[in-house]
Structure 1
């Protein structure tokens, strides 16, 4: 069976132009929202050695990314592959780097001082 075209998979002309704009406006060294490592326009400088990719991080109503909405952020290619069809702001390595837990059974102390207790879904 033939693989779907880039447009059919959600990566058509508009996506490519949007990705170019995101990379053009990207500040080298900005931390990847998935792994926490720095991201660079030059693929060889990225830890995975690949060009950055646009991340579809908008819920389509089923809990999967809506590829009809253009990406608003960049990720390392391997981070984007690892993230796959999930909707999440950050990956486990990002939480680890920031001394936070992605475990929903533990409270998270946000920089603003608020504690989110995932077990009781309360914010203090």
Structure 2
């Protein structure tokens, strides 16, 4: 099976408009507000967020300068609405865990189940 070239943010409909919307959300953000997904506090300074990893690297081996950054999330998933705009911030890891929103009823903020396990590390799929 041939390797697919990863799509750019613009090809995923996360281009300039999405980045501008994220900037607007960050401008209105109040440090310490809880994340909708995990209920942990969120900060503009990425080094203060729980998912910050100073040793994180990208796939090309360079330092990951997005570790701990807040991500702009669509409460109405893009798969359900082509006109959906990002309307809230989540931790970057929480945004990845949420995926398309089909498990919103199982999010850690509601279930009180941690999204990390000391033996396993951070889990993207938080189910047994």
Poorly superposed stretches of 4+, deviation over 3 Å: 64-68, 87-91
1:15 aligns with 2:18: yes
For structure 1, which runs of at least 5 residues remain unmatched after alignment? 98-124
What are the equivalent positions in structure 2 for 1:82-101 lying under 5 Å apart?
82-87=97-102, 91-96=106-111
Alignment RMSD, CA only? Answer: 2.0
**Larger of the two Rg values belongs to structure:** 1
| Count of residues in correspondence between the two structures | 94
What are the equivalent positions in structure 2 for 1:31-42 lying under 5 Å apart?
31-42=34-45
Structure with higher strand content: 1
In the aligned structure 2, how far is the partner of 1:80 from the partner of 1:32?
10
- What TM-score, normalized to structure 1? 0.67
- What TM-score, normalized to structure 2? 0.65
1:51 aligns with 2:66: no
Give the superposition deviation at 1:70: 1.6
Q: 8 Å contact 1:53–1:76 — kept in the other structure?
A: yes
Determine helix, strand or coil for the equivalent of 1:75.
strand
Give the superposition deviation at 1:48: 0.3
Q: 8 Å contact 1:19–1:71 — kept in the other structure?
A: yes
